């Protein structure tokens, strides 16, 4: 059996929970693309809107 580590990122959800923190759709896409490029296995996108 091979040991694996799966990376799960919540930046797009948890990162916008702070007061006065907002990300545009463009910012969210840029972040998601970079997380993907870094090799993150799962990117939690949060809620639409």
- pTM of the entire predicted model: 0.78
> pLDDT for 1-49, tens place per residue?
789 999 999 999 888 888 888 888 899 999 999 999 999 999 998 776 5
Between CA 45 and CA 28 the distance in angstroms is 8
């Amino acid at each position: 059996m091979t040991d694996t580590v799966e990376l799960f990122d919540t930046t797009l959800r948890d990162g916008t929970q702070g007061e006065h923190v907002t990300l545009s759709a463009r910012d969210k896409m840029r972040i998601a693309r970079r997380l993907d490029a870094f090799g993150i296995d799962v990117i939690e996108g949060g809620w639409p809107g």
